[in-house]
Every structure is written in structure tokens, then in C-alpha cells.
């Protein structure tokens, strides 16, 4: 299968450093097309994303208020659950569970929030068209935080530190319109979440070295990961959907994960998400969009529901993926090995018949599966520890 796996032995860096002994390092023979394809998965980190629909996006005071609110259990109906209950910093901003646990067990897994600021559709089904609108959902949902506009508004008005943080972020004291305060709280929360950018990884070191033509540096990347990467951008076609620096198109796909939630009940994925988006008072076409130019609404205005959206879920980004299982919208695959086996053996009957199928059973050999997993693991790195948030109003 890997016909161009010609090995180049590089010993120069070790000798040049004057080290005793010779350590052979290896680099596959990468073609210009492959180097171009790999280059598209970087550079990392990308420039900071600003959201024109959110007037506190990227502002230090908005981010500080959002960080405080993220850990605030008083936003929930029973005063016990915060965003951080499910999106835990020590678990890649997820919870390690197959299905999220709110006031009841949900049907979907808690997604990681790494690199969330670079997306344009939110939730597994894309029911949110902005990060702040997506943030409102768990606050209101009785199965999640079960809060509500009045609870949020009273907290912002009644807690001196939060009221002061609000005034710094938004330029006026919290007013009397509860729904507007709910939206503002969500906008501050969104400003904070957009700062969650995953760390540089061994893959990024390799990608930059390859693009710079620095074979010595590139050859430090393990050979198994190199072979897995070659499959990822080549025969296995993973980068049809997992593309760009975040390893996602940000759009939706069907890879044949079963969509039955329980006998007789299905999760319609994107089809249901578009339905919910169109009736949401918080979508970008509504009155809470801060973008006066209207450019942010283009995507929403042009999206149309199609039958093929049934059973589609948003393509997840793959950075930190090895540290954030279990996998898929319903947590149905426990390990990366299981994910690769799924792509190797997926049944074509389960996939959509309309359009060109982008996924087909790959029939991978054992070595190839192990190589793909080694590559996916090279997208992981230990995140730096979080600094203690500054007080809102010193």
C-alpha cells in the first residue's frame, strides 16, 4: 500500500551536535503535493477569531466576566450545575462520559470546547449559528442547567462583583430587560470560550519543519505517525472532511454512526438542528445580533434544509482528540482504535445513497490502523496550566 515509503536516513543533527553514538532518524519521501496537503493543516495557532455578532468578543472585560460565569453554579435551576460541570478544564473541556449528565442523562456526548471560536455552526446538529446563541441553550434547557432569563438577570443585578464585571464589559449597569441580560451573559461566556485554543503538538512541529524544508527537524516525528499521516491525506481520504488547521470543515457529514437513540426513536442530526435554528429567537437574523453590517447573517440566510441532512452530524476537530474520548455524537466508540476500525469496516448500506458517498469501508491492514492511530495521537499535547482568573473589579 505505502509504495513511496522510501526511507531517508539522517544522521547529521546528532553528529553536528557532537553527541557520541549515531542515532538514525527517518523521514518518508514526501512529494510536493503531499507537503502542500500537510501545510494546509497549519500554521498553529491561527490568528484570534473575532465574532462581529458579539460586541464583547475579544475584549478583556468581556472575557473576564465570561470566565467567572463559566464556573458559576448559581446560573442553574438548583444552584449546583455550571458550564464547568460538563466542560471541565482538566478533561479537554469535556467530561469523559459517553453521554452528558444534566438533570437527566442526555442523548449526546459533551463536545470539547477547544478551538470553538473558529467554528460557524455549533452543537452536533448545528442548531446554533453563533457561539453566544449556542451558550444560551444549556442555560435554558430543563435537562441541563434549567436556569432561565430571570435567574441569570437577577444574579447579574444582585451580585456586586458580577454587576461590576458586567458594567466594565458592556459599559452600563445591568438593566431591567431579563432576556437581554441573558443574551449578554451568553456573549461574555462566548468571549471567554473563544480564548480556548489548543496547544501546539508534535504534528505542528513536523508540519512547520516540512514546509520550511528542514529535514532534520522533520525527521524527529515518529515514523508510524508519518505513515498514518500519509494515509490520512491520501488513500484514506480523511482530510475530505477533517481539513484545515483545526482538522474540520466546520460542516456536516454522515459517516454511518447509528442514529437510533432507543427503539423507535432517532436523532435526526442536522435536519433537526436546522429546524431548531430557524425558529430560535436568538439566531443571527434576530434582534440580538450586534453586527450592523449584516455580513454575519449570510450563511444563515442561505442554508436550506434537505433530506440528506438527516443523520448528519458536525465534523469534529481532531486536535487533542486522543485525550478526549469517548467518541462520536453519542459517545458510541470508546477508543481511537474503535474509531479507525469503524472507518475500516463501515457498512456502505448504512450511508446515504444521495450524492457522492465520501466514506467507504477502507479495509485497513493492522499496521495501517495502528499508523493512523499513531498519527491521531500526534495531534495531542499537554495544555499549559490555567492561570487563576483576576478578580472582576479590583
Applying CB under 6 A, which residues contact ligand HEC?
81, 83, 85-87, 100, 102, 106, 108, 110-111, 113, 116, 122-125, 131, 134-135, 138-139, 144-145, 189, 193, 236-238, 240-242, 253, 255, 257, 313, 315-316, 318, 321, 327-329, 336, 339, 343, 358-359, 372, 376
Cβ of residue 327: shortest distance to ligand HEC, in angstroms?
A: 4
Choice between 124 and 203, CB closer to ligand HEC: 124
Beta strands in the chain (DSSP E): 7-10, 25-28, 252-253, 260-262, 265-266, 313-314
Measure the CA angle with vertex 304, ends 298 and 305; round to 5°. Answer: 145
Q: What's the number of CA atoms in the CB half-sphere (13 Å) around residue 289?
A: 19
Cβ of residue 169: shortest distance to ligand HEC, in angstroms?
A: 16
Choice between 134 and 289, CB closer to ligand HEC: 134
Cβ of residue 155: shortest distance to ligand HEC, in angstroms?
A: 12
Choice between 61 and 315, CB closer to ligand HEC: 315
Rounded to whole angstroms, the Cα distance separating 261 from 107 reads 7
Cβ of residue 58: shortest distance to ligand HEC, in angstroms?
A: 16
User: How far, in whole angstroms, is CA 281 from its chain's centroid?
Assistant: 25
Helices 202-211 and 223-233 sit at what angle, rounded to 10 degrees? 70
Cβ of residue 10: shortest distance to ligand HEC, in angstroms?
A: 28
Choice between 218 and 243, CB closer to ligand HEC: 243
In 125-233, which residue ranges form alpha helices assigned H by DSSP? 131-140, 149-158, 160-170, 178-193, 202-211, 215-218, 223-233
Residue 80's CB is within 10 A of a number of other CB atoms, namely 11
Cβ of residue 2: shortest distance to ligand HEC, in angstroms?
A: 15
Choice between 25 and 62, CB closer to ligand HEC: 62
Choice between 174 and 331, CB closer to ligand HEC: 331
Cβ of residue 228: shortest distance to ligand HEC, in angstroms?
A: 8
C-alpha cell at 388: 487563576
Choice between 219 and 271, CB closer to ligand HEC: 271
Residue 45's CB is within 10 A of a number of other CB atoms, namely 15
Measure the CA angle with vertex 216, ends 211 and 221; round to 5°. Answer: 75
Amino acid at each position: 500500500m505505502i509504495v513511496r515509503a522510501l526511507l531517508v536516513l539522517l544522521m547529521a543533527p546528532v553528529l553536528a551536535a557532537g553527541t557520541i553514538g549515531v542515532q538514525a532518524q527517518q523521514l518518508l519521501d514526501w512529494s510536493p503535493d503531499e507537503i502542500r496537503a500537510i501545510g494546509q493543516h497549519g500554521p498553529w495557532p491561527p490568528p484570534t477569531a473575532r465574532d462581529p455578532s458579539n460586541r464583547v468578543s475579544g475584549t478583556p472585560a468581556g472575557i473576564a466576566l465570561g470566565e467567572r460565569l463559566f464556573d458559576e453554579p448559581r446560573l442553574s435551576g438548583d444552584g449546583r450545575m455550571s458550564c464547568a460541570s460538563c466542560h471541565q478544564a482538566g478533561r479537554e473541556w469535556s467530561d469523559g462520559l459517553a453521554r452528558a449528565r444534566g438533570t437527566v442523562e442526555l442523548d449526546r456526548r459533551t463536545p470539547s470546547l477547544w478551538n470553538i471560536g473558529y467554528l460557524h455552526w455549533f452543537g452536533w446538529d448545528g442548531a446554533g449559528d453563533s457561539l453566544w446563541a449556542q451558550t444560551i441553550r444549556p442555560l435554558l434547557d430543563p435537562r441541563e442547567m434549567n436556569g432561565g432569563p430571570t435567574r441569570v438577570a437577577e444574579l447579574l443585578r444582585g451580585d456586586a462583583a458580577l454587576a461590576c464585571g458586567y458594567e466594565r464589559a458592556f459599559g452600563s449597569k445591568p438593566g431591567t430587560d431579563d432576556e437581554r441580560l441573558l443574551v449578554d451573559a451568553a456573549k461574555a461566556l462566548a468571549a471567554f470560550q473563544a480564548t480556548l485554543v489548543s496547544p501546539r503538538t508534535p504534528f505542528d512541529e513536523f508540519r512547520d519543519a516540512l514546509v520550511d524544508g528542514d529535514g532534520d527537524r522533520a525527521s524527529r516525528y515518529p515514523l508510524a505517525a508519518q505513515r498514518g499521516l500519509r494515509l490520512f491525506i491520501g488513500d484514506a481520504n480523511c482530510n475530505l472532511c477533517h481539513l484545515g488547521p483545526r482538522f474540520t470543515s466546520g460542516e456536516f457529514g454522515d459517516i454511518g454512526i447509528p442514529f437510533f437513540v432507543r427503539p423507535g426513536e432517532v436523532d435526526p442530526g442536522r435536519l433537526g438542528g436546522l429546524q431548531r435554528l430557524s425558529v430560535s429567537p436568538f439566531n443571527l437574523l434576530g434582534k440580538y445580533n450586534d453586527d450592523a453590517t449584516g455580513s454575519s447573517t449570510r450563511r444563515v440566510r442561505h442554508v436550506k434544509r434537505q433530506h440528506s441532512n438527516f443523520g448528519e452530524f458536525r465534523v469534529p476537530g481532531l486536535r487533542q482528540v486522543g485525550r478526549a474520548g469517548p467518541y462520536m455524537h453519542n459517545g458510541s466508540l470508546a477508543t481511537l482504535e474503535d474509531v479507525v476500525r469503524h472507518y475500516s469496516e463501515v457498512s456502505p448500506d448504512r450511508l446515504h445513497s444521495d450524492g457522492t458517498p465520501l466514506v467507504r469501508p477502507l479495509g485497513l491492514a493492522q499496521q495501517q490502523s495502528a499508523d493512523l492511530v499513531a498519527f491521531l495521537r500526534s495531534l495531542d499535547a499537554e495544555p499549559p496550566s490555567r492561570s487563576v482568573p483576576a478578580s472582576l473589579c479590583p
